[in-house]
């Protein structure tokens, strides 16, 4: 995780520099700060700083991964990565639901936004519980 937090914090530092430079530049050019771009750069800086801080926080609490050790071999990273569904239609449902919510935002129809967000929650739950095998799973006949 050392690599990840360093990358994110370097990008965050660049974005902070770009935010200050952009704000000063637009203030000098037009007599007032252009707030949309300055705010977008500032929020991008905050997002990268938040991700970098999270990765830094996590990297202190876990053992070094093979990616973080200079003496590691390629075979050290071998093994099971996790389970990935071979064929699931739920990601398509999430994308369709998000598109419906996006169309509701475009046309400023709050009922469509609500319907789309409700469908996103339903599709995300479907994806999450697609292979659920816990104790509360309903019996299949």
pLDDT for 43-61, tens place per residue? 999 999 999 999 999 988 9
d(Cα 41, Cα 12) in Å, to the nearest integer? 10
The b-or-e profile of 22-41 (16+ CB within 10 A means b, else e) is bbeebeeeeeebeeeebeeb
Q: What local confidence, expressed as pLDDT, does residue 140 receive?
A: 58
pLDDT band at 107 (very low <50, low <70, confident <90, very high): very high
d(Cα 38, Cα 36) in Å, to the nearest integer? 6
| pTM of this structure | 0.59
Q: Sign of the CA dihedral 60, 63, 66, 70? A: positive
Q: What local confidence, expressed as pLDDT, does residue 137 receive?
A: 61
């Amino acid at each position: 995780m050392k690599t990840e937090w360093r990358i994110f914090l370097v990008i965050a530092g660049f974005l902070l520099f770009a935010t200050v430079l952009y704000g000063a530049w637009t203030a000098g050019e037009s007599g007032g700060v252009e707030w949309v771009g300055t705010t977008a750069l500032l929020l991008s800086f905050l997002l990268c700083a938040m991700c970098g801080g999270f990765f830094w926080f996590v990297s202190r609490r876990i053992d070094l991964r093979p990616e973080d050790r200079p003496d590691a071999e390629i075979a050290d990273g071998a093994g099971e990565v996790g389970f990935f569904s071979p064929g699931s239609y739920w990601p398509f449902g999430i994308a369709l639901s998000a598109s419906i919510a996006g169309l509701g935002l475009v046309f400023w129809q709050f009922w469509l936004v609500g319907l789309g967000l409700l469908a996103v929650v339903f599709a995300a739950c479907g994806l999450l519980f697609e292979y659920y095998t816990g104790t509360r799973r309903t019996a299949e006949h």
